[in-house]
Amino acid sequence: PPADIGLIGLAVMGQNLILNMADHGYTVAVYNRTSSKVDDFIASAKASEPSAGRLVGCKSLKKFVSSIKRPRKIVLLVKAGWATDATIESVVPYLEKGDIIIDGGNALWTDTIRREQELTAKGLRFIGSGVSGGETGARFGPSLMPGGSKEAWKELEPIWKAISAKVDRKTGRPIEVDTPGQVAKGGEPCTVHIGENGAGHYVKMVHNGIEYIDMQLICEAYMLMKNLLGMKPDAMSEVFAGWNEGDLDSYLIEITADILQQKDPMNKRRFLVDSVLDTAGQKGTGKWTSTSALDLGIPANAIAEAVFARCLSAIKEERVSASKQLRGPKAPRLPMSKAKAIEAIREALYCSKICAYAQGFQLMAEAAREYDWKLDFGKIAKIFRGGCIIRARFLQKITEAYKADRRLQNLMLDPYFKKALHGGQGNWRSVVTMATNAGVPIPAFSSALAYFDGYRTAVLPANLLQAQRDYFGAHTFERTDKPRGQFFHVDWPEPGRPISKS
């Protein structure tokens, strides 16, 4: 029988998405540039996958394309960037009007806009879809963020809804699926049409920016417990597992608890985390989020800080050398009990997390204005509740916040989050103070706090800044006692000469 959909790219994400589609009853044509991979994949699927009968292995692009029902739907899961362009170029000659290419990679949204334009000119359709959830998500239910024309989405919608993660309609909690052949019954699918052209990939990019800061915040909590409280990984694992029962309940907290109790397979007396080198990698989505925030003038400082924290971690040799030359403060006494400090760190983490999401959503709001997308933040928060890396109980609260006020200016202003910030700020400040006094770097905690304090400050020192700009460059300034939009300039004296009293 002709395939319902085709997929190019047999790295692990591609393989798992194929098996997920097959489990949901779809026949999937499979192609990879190195064709031995196709054989290997089909053979291993036959050995262990209940839905292997629904896979159609194809050795040539011609056979691949001709084995798919029209209008064809072809998913690409290849490396973002030039490999995506090369794959599109290779498959296009076989396609016919109305066929749809779906890019599931972490593409830069401006590339997605360009690709859609190029393919539209050829009578083809294009969907740039964020796919989040790593390998397991792809296999058993990712969060899917498709962008593109509505009518192209209509064609893809049934499949995307079937394979996406599902959350319980009442509680908003993810429905667990973890066995090949198993499918979730009922539940709300974690996918929605995000918007035109590059909107899906933009939202996926911001998801990743939030993922960066979420991870960095957890790492800072870990560092505080390790360096200030002298805790061992297994003890910290218990703390994280406990946090996972409350407001912080999330995938990233859960895996952190798991990671911290993992013993080193090469040295069973040690914990693995103590053997892992402290240099972070990154593939660019967090950087893109921060660049976009700078381009759009949105103060996503905590998200950018998480990227810089990775950069700082990467210059390991320099840090090791500097650690022998630059001295920090003498370790002060802990101003509170260990139990109190752990609770303070939990609250600092929660408050910082609220700021981080506030920044991500503010950024998306500005991008929607700039690129003319109609983003629905309630729906975006909803599809983040399951499948994706940042899935968390907390996202139900964000969903509710946008449900109560579609135009909410900033997440921090929602009554629930406002209350959490008001209640938690005492501990948050104590943690930042403690860390600062002890010389423990917590850039994400402290930049989130600076964002909170900056955002709630009616008068910032930018009055002086504007005067400075006017002084040295005649850049003009607005006045507090005149309407906005009227600009003034003063004839400043030469530097160093006092201004005459008159």
Question: Would the annotation count 310 as a binding residue?
Answer: yes
Task: Assess contact for 455 and 425: CB atoms under 8 A.
Answer: no
Taking the complex as a whole, the smallest distance from the CB of residue 194 to ligand 6PG amounts, in Å, to 14
Binding-site size for ligand 6PG (CB under 6 A) equals: 13
Q: What SS3 state is found at 29?
A: strand
Question: Would the annotation count 448 as a binding residue?
Answer: no
Write the DSSP symbol of residue 174.
B
Residue nearest ligand 6PG, Cβ-based = 132
* Structure token pair of residue 82: 């030039």
| Cα atoms found within 13 Å of the Cα of residue 421, Cβ hemisphere only | 21
Taking the complex as a whole, the smallest distance from the CB of residue 330 to ligand 6PG amounts, in Å, to 36
Question: Would the annotation count 475 as a binding residue?
Answer: yes
* Structure token pair of residue 267: 């040295």
Q: What SS3 state is found at 269?
A: strand
Per CB under 6 A, the list member of 348, 388, 401, 411 interacting with ligand 6PG is 388
Q: Which is nearer to ligand 6PG, 72 or 310 (CB)?
A: 310
Q: Which of 20, 401, 21, 389 is nearest to 174 (CA)?
A: 389
Q: Which residues pair with 3 in a beta bridge?
A: 68
CB burial of 357-386 (b: ≥16 within 10 Å; e: otherwise) equals bbbbbbbbbbbbeebebebbbbbbbbbbbb
* Structure token pair of residue 476: 């003009």
Interface with ligand 6PG includes 191 (CB under 6 A)? no
SS3 content of the chain, % helix, strand, coil (to 5): 55, 10, 35
Q: What SS3 state is found at 357?
A: helix
Which residues are known to be catalytic? 204, 211
* Span interacting with ligand 6PG, options 33-41, 281-289, 441-449, 466-474, rule CB under 6 A: 281-289
Per CB under 6 A, the list member of 15, 106, 289, 447 interacting with ligand 6PG is 106
CA 359-364-368 angle, 5° bins: 150
Q: Residue type at 367? A: A
Taking the complex as a whole, the smallest distance from the CB of residue 307 to ligand 6PG amounts, in Å, to 9
Question: Would the annotation count 150 as a binding residue?
Answer: no
Question: CB 185: neighbour CB atoms within 10 A?
Answer: 8
Taking the complex as a whole, the smallest distance from the CB of residue 256 to ligand 6PG amounts, in Å, to 15
The DSSP bridge pattern shows strands 73-76 and 125-132 to be: unpaired
Q: Which is nearer to ligand 6PG, 389 or 395 (CB)?
A: 389
Give me the helices (H) in 11-103, please. Answer: 12-23, 35-48, 61-66, 82-91
Interface with ligand 6PG includes 389 (CB under 6 A)? yes
Binding mask 219-258 for ligand 6PG (x = CB under 6 A): ----------------------------------------
Give residues 286-305 in contact with ligand 6PG (rule: CB under 6 A). Answer: 286
Per CB under 6 A, the list member of 15, 27, 285, 292 interacting with ligand 6PG is 285
Binding mask 332-371 for ligand 6PG (x = CB under 6 A): ----------------------------------------
First to last CA, the chain: 92
Q: Which is nearer to ligand 6PG, 356 or 432 (CB)?
A: 356
376's enclosing H/E stretch is none
Interface with ligand 6PG includes 418 (CB under 6 A)? no
Question: CB 427: neighbour CB atoms within 10 A?
Answer: 21
Question: Would the annotation count 133 as a binding residue?
Answer: yes
Question: Would the annotation count 97 as a binding residue?
Answer: no
Taking the complex as a whole, the smallest distance from the CB of residue 136 to ligand 6PG amounts, in Å, to 10
Interface with ligand 6PG includes 283 (CB under 6 A)? yes
Give residues 115-154 in contact with ligand 6PG (rule: CB under 6 A). Answer: 132-134
In angstroms, the CA 390 to CA 209 distance is 10
Taking the complex as a whole, the smallest distance from the CB of residue 99 to ligand 6PG amounts, in Å, to 26
Task: Assess contact for 41 and 28: CB atoms under 8 A.
Answer: no
Q: Which is nearer to ligand 6PG, 164 or 430 (CB)?
A: 164
Q: Which is nearer to ligand 6PG, 57 or 133 (CB)?
A: 133
Q: Which residue ranges make up the annotated binding site for substrate?
A: 106, 132-134, 207-208, 212, 283, 310, 469, 475
Q: Which residues bind ligand 6PG (CB under 6 A)?
A: 106, 132-134, 208, 211, 281-283, 285-286, 388-389
Q: Which residue ranges make up the annotated binding site for NADP(+)?
A: 9-14, 32-34, 78-80, 106
